[in-house]
Amino acid sequence: MDADITIIGAGIIGLAIAAELSDGRTNMYIVEKNETHGRGISSRNSEVIHAGIYYPTGSLKGRLCVEGRELLYELCREYKIPHRRTGKLIIATGEDEMGEVASLEAAALRNGVTSVEMITRERIAEMEPHIRAVGALYSPDTGIVSAHALMDYFLHAAREKGAEIACGTEVNEVEPVAGGYMISTQNREGERFSFTSERVVNAAGLYSDRIAAMIGKTYDHHYCKGDYFSIANVKKDTVQRLVYPVPEKNHVGLGVHLTLDLGGRLKLGPDATYIARIEEYKVDASKADRFYAAAVKFLPFIKREDIVADMSGIRPKLQGPGETFRDFVISEDKPGFVNLVGIESPGLTAAPAIARRVKSLLNGGVS
Protein backbone atom coordinates (compact mmCIF):
# COMPACT_ATOMS: atom_id res chain seq x y z
CA MET A 1 0.00 0.00 0.00
CA ASP A 2 1.30 3.44 -0.90
CA ALA A 3 -0.61 6.56 -0.06
CA ASP A 4 -0.78 10.05 -1.52
CA ILE A 5 -1.78 11.45 1.86
CA THR A 6 -1.82 9.89 5.32
CA ILE A 7 -3.59 11.52 8.21
CA ILE A 8 -2.45 10.41 11.66
CA GLY A 9 -5.34 10.67 14.12
CA ALA A 10 -9.09 10.38 13.67
CA GLY A 11 -10.29 13.10 16.04
CA ILE A 12 -12.25 16.12 14.91
CA ILE A 13 -9.13 17.71 13.37
CA GLY A 14 -7.92 14.69 11.39
CA LEU A 15 -11.44 13.91 10.20
CA ALA A 16 -12.21 17.50 9.16
CA ILE A 17 -8.93 17.52 7.21
CA ALA A 18 -9.76 14.17 5.61
CA ALA A 19 -13.15 15.52 4.49
CA GLU A 20 -11.52 18.66 3.09
CA LEU A 21 -8.68 16.89 1.24
CA SER A 22 -10.49 13.85 -0.13
CA ASP A 23 -11.57 14.27 -3.73
CA GLY A 24 -12.16 10.82 -5.19
CA ARG A 25 -8.73 10.81 -6.86
CA THR A 26 -6.31 11.11 -3.91
CA ASN A 27 -5.23 7.89 -2.25
CA MET A 28 -5.87 8.82 1.39
CA TYR A 29 -5.47 6.84 4.60
CA ILE A 30 -6.50 7.86 8.08
CA VAL A 31 -4.57 5.92 10.73
CA GLU A 32 -6.04 5.81 14.25
CA LYS A 33 -4.65 3.96 17.23
CA ASN A 34 -7.96 3.59 19.08
CA GLU A 35 -10.51 0.99 18.08
CA THR A 36 -12.80 3.66 16.58
CA HIS A 37 -12.58 7.30 15.58
CA GLY A 38 -13.35 10.13 17.99
CA ARG A 39 -12.19 8.65 21.30
CA GLY A 40 -9.55 11.26 22.13
CA ILE A 41 -9.82 14.92 23.17
CA SER A 42 -12.71 15.34 20.77
CA SER A 43 -14.92 13.10 22.92
CA ARG A 44 -14.12 14.93 26.18
CA ASN A 45 -14.93 18.58 25.77
CA SER A 46 -17.72 21.12 26.23
CA GLU A 47 -19.03 20.87 22.64
CA VAL A 48 -19.29 24.63 22.51
CA ILE A 49 -19.19 26.48 19.20
CA HIS A 50 -17.17 29.45 20.37
CA ALA A 51 -17.76 32.90 18.91
CA GLY A 52 -14.04 33.86 19.05
CA ILE A 53 -14.05 36.53 21.75
CA TYR A 54 -11.09 35.84 24.02
CA TYR A 55 -8.13 35.23 21.75
CA PRO A 56 -5.41 37.76 20.96
CA THR A 57 -6.31 39.65 17.80
CA GLY A 58 -4.71 38.19 14.70
CA SER A 59 -3.87 34.87 16.40
CA LEU A 60 -4.69 31.64 14.59
CA LYS A 61 -6.95 30.71 17.49
CA GLY A 62 -8.95 33.91 17.00
CA ARG A 63 -9.07 33.92 13.22
CA LEU A 64 -9.74 30.20 12.73
CA CYS A 65 -12.39 30.26 15.46
CA VAL A 66 -14.37 33.02 13.75
CA GLU A 67 -14.01 31.39 10.33
CA GLY A 68 -14.64 27.86 11.64
CA ARG A 69 -17.70 28.88 13.62
CA GLU A 70 -19.59 30.06 10.55
CA LEU A 71 -18.46 27.07 8.46
CA LEU A 72 -19.64 24.82 11.29
CA TYR A 73 -23.09 26.40 11.51
CA GLU A 74 -23.45 26.04 7.73
CA LEU A 75 -22.46 22.37 7.86
CA CYS A 76 -24.79 21.72 10.78
CA ARG A 77 -27.71 23.31 8.94
CA GLU A 78 -27.01 21.59 5.66
CA TYR A 79 -26.35 18.09 7.02
CA LYS A 80 -28.74 18.25 9.98
CA ILE A 81 -26.00 17.80 12.57
CA PRO A 82 -27.57 18.33 16.02
CA HIS A 83 -26.64 21.79 17.29
CA ARG A 84 -28.19 24.87 18.87
CA ARG A 85 -27.19 28.52 18.64
CA THR A 86 -27.86 29.00 22.35
CA GLY A 87 -26.02 32.28 22.89
CA LYS A 88 -23.75 32.95 25.83
CA LEU A 89 -23.49 35.49 28.64
CA ILE A 90 -20.15 36.57 30.06
CA ILE A 91 -21.25 38.02 33.34
CA ALA A 92 -20.05 40.38 36.05
CA THR A 93 -21.15 39.21 39.47
CA GLY A 94 -20.17 42.58 40.98
CA GLU A 95 -19.61 46.14 39.70
CA ASP A 96 -15.85 45.59 40.11
CA GLU A 97 -15.95 43.08 37.21
CA MET A 98 -17.71 45.38 34.74
CA GLY A 99 -14.41 46.80 33.47
CA GLU A 100 -13.28 43.29 32.60
CA VAL A 101 -16.55 42.61 30.77
CA ALA A 102 -16.17 45.86 28.81
CA SER A 103 -12.63 44.93 27.83
CA LEU A 104 -13.94 41.61 26.50
CA GLU A 105 -16.42 43.52 24.36
CA ALA A 106 -13.50 45.50 22.91
CA ALA A 107 -11.54 42.26 22.31
CA ALA A 108 -14.55 40.71 20.58
CA LEU A 109 -14.94 43.69 18.26
CA ARG A 110 -11.22 43.66 17.45
CA ASN A 111 -11.55 39.98 16.55
CA GLY A 112 -14.46 40.65 14.20
CA VAL A 113 -17.10 39.23 16.57
CA THR A 114 -19.46 42.10 15.91
CA SER A 115 -22.68 40.49 17.14
CA VAL A 116 -21.79 40.94 20.84
CA GLU A 117 -23.77 43.35 22.96
CA MET A 118 -23.41 44.75 26.50
CA ILE A 119 -26.60 44.12 28.43
CA THR A 120 -27.98 45.39 31.73
CA ARG A 121 -29.07 43.60 34.87
CA GLU A 122 -32.73 44.10 33.82
CA ARG A 123 -32.20 42.54 30.39
CA ILE A 124 -30.37 39.60 31.99
CA ALA A 125 -33.33 39.11 34.34
CA GLU A 126 -35.65 38.90 31.31
CA MET A 127 -33.40 36.50 29.41
CA GLU A 128 -32.24 34.32 32.31
CA PRO A 129 -34.37 34.94 35.39
CA HIS A 130 -32.53 32.33 37.46
CA ILE A 131 -29.00 33.73 37.27
CA ARG A 132 -27.45 36.52 39.31
CA ALA A 133 -25.38 39.18 37.52
CA VAL A 134 -25.06 42.95 37.48
CA GLY A 135 -24.25 43.16 33.76
CA ALA A 136 -23.02 40.98 30.93
CA LEU A 137 -21.60 40.72 27.47
CA TYR A 138 -24.12 38.79 25.38
CA SER A 139 -22.77 36.69 22.51
CA PRO A 140 -25.67 35.45 20.35
CA ASP A 141 -23.38 33.47 18.03
CA THR A 142 -22.08 31.02 20.62
CA GLY A 143 -23.71 27.60 20.48
CA ILE A 144 -23.42 23.89 21.14
CA VAL A 145 -23.01 20.93 18.80
CA SER A 146 -22.86 17.16 18.98
CA ALA A 147 -19.12 16.54 18.51
CA HIS A 148 -19.75 12.87 17.73
CA ALA A 149 -22.34 13.63 15.06
CA LEU A 150 -19.94 16.14 13.56
CA MET A 151 -17.08 13.61 13.50
CA ASP A 152 -19.38 10.97 11.98
CA TYR A 153 -20.32 13.47 9.28
CA PHE A 154 -16.67 14.29 8.45
CA LEU A 155 -15.73 10.60 8.34
CA HIS A 156 -18.68 9.81 6.09
CA ALA A 157 -17.85 12.73 3.78
CA ALA A 158 -14.20 11.61 3.54
CA ARG A 159 -15.10 7.98 2.89
CA GLU A 160 -17.59 8.92 0.22
CA LYS A 161 -14.73 10.52 -1.64
CA GLY A 162 -12.44 7.53 -1.30
CA ALA A 163 -10.60 7.97 2.02
CA GLU A 164 -9.94 4.80 4.00
CA ILE A 165 -9.57 4.53 7.75
CA ALA A 166 -7.48 1.98 9.67
CA CYS A 167 -8.45 1.90 13.35
CA GLY A 168 -6.57 0.01 16.05
CA THR A 169 -3.36 0.96 14.22
CA GLU A 170 -0.71 3.00 15.99
CA VAL A 171 1.95 4.94 14.13
CA ASN A 172 5.24 4.31 15.92
CA GLU A 173 7.81 5.56 13.42
CA VAL A 174 7.97 8.03 10.57
CA GLU A 175 11.04 8.30 8.40
CA PRO A 176 11.67 10.65 5.49
CA VAL A 177 12.43 8.62 2.32
CA ALA A 178 12.71 9.47 -1.34
CA GLY A 179 9.31 10.73 -2.54
CA GLY A 180 7.74 11.02 0.91
CA TYR A 181 7.69 9.29 4.26
CA MET A 182 7.87 5.71 5.45
CA ILE A 183 5.21 5.18 8.11
CA SER A 184 5.57 2.20 10.43
CA THR A 185 2.55 1.00 12.36
CA GLN A 186 1.53 -1.69 14.77
CA ASN A 187 -1.97 -3.06 15.31
CA ARG A 188 -3.56 -4.39 18.48
CA GLU A 189 -2.41 -7.93 17.73
CA GLY A 190 1.18 -6.67 17.59
CA GLU A 191 1.41 -6.99 13.81
CA ARG A 192 3.69 -4.44 12.19
CA PHE A 193 3.02 -2.83 8.85
CA SER A 194 4.91 -0.14 6.95
CA PHE A 195 3.97 1.90 3.92
CA THR A 196 5.09 5.05 2.17
CA SER A 197 3.06 8.21 1.89
CA GLU A 198 3.86 11.20 -0.27
CA ARG A 199 2.37 13.61 2.25
CA VAL A 200 1.51 13.31 5.95
CA VAL A 201 -0.74 15.29 8.27
CA ASN A 202 -0.01 14.85 11.96
CA ALA A 203 -3.33 15.37 13.77
CA ALA A 204 -2.55 13.12 16.74
CA GLY A 205 -4.03 15.41 19.40
CA LEU A 206 -2.29 14.92 22.77
CA TYR A 207 0.44 12.90 21.03
CA SER A 208 1.16 15.15 18.07
CA ASP A 209 4.36 16.46 19.69
CA ARG A 210 5.61 12.84 19.82
CA ILE A 211 4.80 12.28 16.15
CA ALA A 212 6.55 15.58 15.27
CA ALA A 213 9.62 14.35 17.16
CA MET A 214 9.75 11.35 14.80
CA ILE A 215 10.76 13.75 12.00
CA GLY A 216 13.13 15.66 14.27
CA LYS A 217 10.86 18.58 15.16
CA THR A 218 10.67 19.47 18.84
CA TYR A 219 7.44 20.67 20.45
CA ASP A 220 6.45 20.12 24.05
CA HIS A 221 2.87 19.59 25.07
CA HIS A 222 1.92 20.38 28.63
CA TYR A 223 -1.15 18.45 29.73
CA CYS A 224 -3.84 20.51 31.35
CA LYS A 225 -6.81 18.63 32.77
CA GLY A 226 -10.30 19.99 32.99
CA ASP A 227 -12.81 18.41 35.38
CA TYR A 228 -16.57 18.75 34.95
CA PHE A 229 -19.31 18.50 37.54
CA SER A 230 -22.91 17.96 36.45
CA ILE A 231 -25.88 19.68 38.05
CA ALA A 232 -28.81 17.48 39.10
CA ASN A 233 -31.31 16.69 36.37
CA VAL A 234 -34.15 18.37 38.25
CA LYS A 235 -32.44 21.69 37.48
CA LYS A 236 -32.33 20.87 33.75
CA ASP A 237 -33.59 23.69 31.49
CA THR A 238 -33.39 26.27 34.33
CA VAL A 239 -30.92 28.22 32.18
CA GLN A 240 -31.09 28.49 28.38
CA ARG A 241 -27.73 30.05 27.56
CA LEU A 242 -24.11 29.32 28.42
CA VAL A 243 -22.98 31.45 31.36
CA TYR A 244 -19.31 32.31 31.95
CA PRO A 245 -17.75 34.50 34.60
CA VAL A 246 -14.91 36.78 33.48
CA PRO A 247 -11.92 34.58 32.54
CA GLU A 248 -8.90 33.75 34.62
CA LYS A 249 -5.68 35.64 33.99
CA ASN A 250 -3.40 34.32 31.21
CA HIS A 251 -6.23 32.30 29.65
CA VAL A 252 -5.23 29.02 31.29
CA GLY A 253 -8.93 28.35 31.73
CA LEU A 254 -12.15 30.28 31.53
CA GLY A 255 -13.13 29.91 35.21
CA VAL A 256 -15.92 27.63 36.49
CA HIS A 257 -18.69 28.22 33.99
CA LEU A 258 -22.05 26.78 33.04
CA THR A 259 -22.52 24.82 29.84
CA LEU A 260 -25.54 23.00 28.50
CA ASP A 261 -25.86 19.90 26.41
CA LEU A 262 -28.36 19.44 23.62
CA GLY A 263 -30.73 17.75 26.10
CA GLY A 264 -30.78 20.88 28.30
CA ARG A 265 -28.69 19.32 31.09
CA LEU A 266 -26.44 21.71 33.00
CA LYS A 267 -22.75 21.17 33.60
CA LEU A 268 -20.04 23.14 35.42
CA GLY A 269 -16.47 23.33 34.21
CA PRO A 270 -13.97 22.54 32.96
CA ASP A 271 -11.38 23.90 35.37
CA ALA A 272 -7.68 23.82 34.48
CA THR A 273 -4.99 21.85 36.31
CA TYR A 274 -1.64 20.93 34.82
CA ILE A 275 -0.89 17.22 35.18
CA ALA A 276 2.20 15.13 34.53
CA ARG A 277 0.59 11.97 33.15
CA ILE A 278 -0.98 12.04 29.75
CA GLU A 279 -4.23 10.12 30.20
CA GLU A 280 -5.46 10.42 33.76
CA TYR A 281 -9.16 11.05 33.45
CA LYS A 282 -10.40 10.43 37.02
CA VAL A 283 -12.35 13.45 38.26
CA ASP A 284 -11.21 14.75 41.62
CA ALA A 285 -14.52 14.61 43.50
CA SER A 286 -13.04 16.64 46.36
CA LYS A 287 -13.25 19.72 44.12
CA ALA A 288 -17.05 19.72 44.43
CA ASP A 289 -17.03 22.29 47.26
CA ARG A 290 -14.85 24.65 45.19
CA PHE A 291 -17.03 24.25 42.09
CA TYR A 292 -20.13 24.88 44.18
CA ALA A 293 -18.68 27.99 45.84
CA ALA A 294 -17.67 29.45 42.46
CA ALA A 295 -20.96 28.61 40.75
CA VAL A 296 -23.46 29.57 43.44
CA LYS A 297 -22.33 33.21 43.10
CA PHE A 298 -24.11 33.40 39.76
CA LEU A 299 -26.38 30.32 39.90
CA PRO A 300 -28.20 30.88 43.22
CA PHE A 301 -30.69 28.08 42.46
CA ILE A 302 -28.13 25.29 42.88
CA LYS A 303 -27.53 23.44 46.11
CA ARG A 304 -24.34 21.70 47.16
CA GLU A 305 -25.99 18.29 46.84
CA ASP A 306 -26.96 19.05 43.20
CA ILE A 307 -23.33 18.80 42.14
CA VAL A 308 -21.86 15.47 41.07
CA ALA A 309 -18.45 14.62 39.59
CA ASP A 310 -18.86 14.06 35.86
CA MET A 311 -16.18 13.62 33.17
CA SER A 312 -12.83 15.21 32.40
CA GLY A 313 -10.77 16.15 29.37
CA ILE A 314 -7.10 16.91 28.80
CA ARG A 315 -5.79 19.86 26.79
CA PRO A 316 -2.54 19.64 24.82
CA LYS A 317 -1.09 23.03 25.70
CA LEU A 318 2.08 24.64 24.42
CA GLN A 319 1.69 27.19 27.21
CA GLY A 320 3.27 25.83 30.38
CA PRO A 321 2.21 26.75 33.94
CA GLY A 322 2.54 30.50 34.53
CA GLU A 323 3.41 31.22 30.89
CA THR A 324 1.58 33.55 28.54
CA PHE A 325 -0.60 32.82 25.51
CA ARG A 326 0.61 30.30 22.92
CA ASP A 327 -1.09 29.89 19.58
CA PHE A 328 -2.02 26.78 17.56
CA VAL A 329 0.89 25.42 15.53
CA ILE A 330 -0.16 24.39 12.01
CA SER A 331 3.09 24.08 10.18
CA GLU A 332 4.60 22.29 7.20
CA ASP A 333 7.82 21.45 9.04
CA LYS A 334 9.24 19.28 6.28
CA PRO A 335 8.10 19.24 2.66
CA GLY A 336 4.67 17.60 2.56
CA PHE A 337 4.58 17.00 6.34
CA VAL A 338 2.18 19.16 8.34
CA ASN A 339 2.23 19.18 12.13
CA LEU A 340 -0.78 20.30 14.18
CA VAL A 341 0.40 20.95 17.71
CA GLY A 342 -1.22 22.59 20.73
CA ILE A 343 -4.71 22.12 19.28
CA GLU A 344 -6.67 22.87 22.42
CA SER A 345 -9.81 25.01 22.56
CA PRO A 346 -11.22 26.35 20.23
CA GLY A 347 -10.07 23.36 18.15
CA LEU A 348 -13.55 21.88 17.77
CA THR A 349 -15.00 25.17 16.55
CA ALA A 350 -12.04 25.92 14.33
CA ALA A 351 -11.83 22.40 12.80
CA PRO A 352 -13.30 23.22 9.36
CA ALA A 353 -11.13 26.33 9.08
CA ILE A 354 -8.03 24.41 10.24
CA ALA A 355 -8.81 21.87 7.51
CA ARG A 356 -8.89 24.60 4.88
CA ARG A 357 -5.59 25.99 6.15
CA VAL A 358 -3.93 22.58 5.95
CA LYS A 359 -5.23 22.19 2.41
CA SER A 360 -3.74 25.48 1.31
CA LEU A 361 -0.45 24.71 3.09
CA LEU A 362 -0.18 21.45 1.17
CA ASN A 363 -1.10 23.23 -2.04
CA GLY A 364 1.82 25.57 -1.60
CA GLY A 365 0.37 28.64 0.05
CA VAL A 366 -1.62 29.91 2.99
CA SER A 367 -4.56 32.18 2.35
Ligand X SMILES: Cc1cc2nc3c(=O)[nH]c(=O)nc-3n(C[C@H](O)[C@H](O)[C@H](O)COP(=O)(O)OP(=O)(O)OC[C@H]3O[C@@H](n4cnc5c(N)ncnc54)[C@H](O)[C@@H]3O)c2cc1C
Residues that bind ligand X (CB under 6 A): 8-14, 31-34, 39-42, 45-48, 50, 170-171, 203-207, 211, 226, 270, 313-315, 343-349
Contacts of 156 (CB under 8 A, 6+ apart): none
- 112 φ/ψ sector (left φ>0, alpha ψ -120 to 50, else beta): left
CB of 344 to ligand X, least distance (A): 5
CB of 69 to ligand X, least distance (A): 9
CB of 13 to ligand X, least distance (A): 3
Q: Cβ closer to ligand X: 135 or 145?
A: 145
Q: Cβ closer to ligand X: 34 or 238?
A: 34
Q: Cβ closer to ligand X: 131 or 343?
A: 343
CB of 125 to ligand X, least distance (A): 27
- What is the Cα–Cα distance from 141 to 123, expressed in whole angstroms? 18
Distance of CA 155 to the CA centre of its chain: 17
- What is the Cα–Cα distance from 45 to 157, expressed in whole angstroms? 23
Separation in Å, CA 106 to CA 111, 114, 179, 346: 9, 10, 49, 19
Strands (E), 128-279: 135-139, 143-145, 164-166, 169-177, 180-187, 192-202, 222-231, 242-245, 258-260, 266-268, 273-275
- What is the Cα–Cα distance from 103 to 343, expressed in whole angstroms? 26
Q: Cβ closer to ligand X: 125 or 308?
A: 308
CB of 207 to ligand X, least distance (A): 4
Q: Cβ closer to ligand X: 302 or 353?
A: 353
